[in-house]
Every structure is written in structure tokens, then in C-alpha cells.
Amino acid sequence: MTAAVYYAGAWQGALLLECSIGQAMEWGSRLMGLPSPIETEDARDSLAELCNVLAGNLKPLLPPGVGLSTPSVVKGADYTLRVRGNTLCERLHFADPAGDFRVTLIIS
């Protein structure tokens, strides 16, 4: 699954949070305080919220007047996500007990 939040205004780009469906379900379970496994829709909503929190925490580092989009989430193994401009700013790889995940910041 990939969640994306887009920045607009004086600085434009996107923050992507990519993980497995299992990770999104586990994170959603913790976020919502529900027993695991949770429904896929709840996992999608939770991943969107986590991406939104990450993007919001980066916002103070950007120029004044930058706004955030509503998060979007793509699920599946066969998809392409294109961000206008598509200049990689930073990609960080992490891991938890369920596997690897990454956070990517793109400048458009």
C-alpha cells in the first residue's frame, strides 16, 4: 500500500508512505485500539492518517503558506504512482517486525 499527501503553494511536492497490507493492518490496529486483524478499509484509512501526520510534521520546515492535500491511498502490487516533477528529495528505509517500509519525499 502507498499513501500520499501532496504539498502545494510556495513549495510543491509529495510525501509517500509505502508498506505491506499486513503492516498497514497492524499499524491501524494500534492506531484505532482494535484487535488485529482489522478490515482492509480501516487499514487504508489508518495508513492515510499516518501519512498525513508525517506530512504535517514536515510542514513547519517548509516555506510559509504551504498547504497539504487530503491523503490518498493506493493498494495492490501492479500500480504506478506518478508525481509531477518527480525529483527525489529523500527516501528513508525502515523495518518493523512485519517487514520493510519506506518514506519518500518528492519535490515537484
Residue 85: per-residue pLDDT:
66
* Euclidean distance between CA atoms 84 and 64, whole angstroms: 21
pLDDT tens for residues 24-72?
999 999 999 999 889 999 999 999 999 999 999 999 999 999 999 999 9
Average pLDDT over residues 10-35: 94
* Euclidean distance between CA atoms 101 and 20, whole angstroms: 7
The reported pTM is 0.91
Please state the domain extents for the chain: 2-107
Q: Which fold does the domain 2-107 belong to in CATH?
A: Chemotaxis protein chec (3.40.1550)
* Euclidean distance between CA atoms 93 and 65, whole angstroms: 29
Residue 10's region, left for phi above 0, alpha for psi from -120 to 50, else beta, is alpha
58: burial class by Cβ within 10 Å (0-12, 13-18, 19+)?
middle
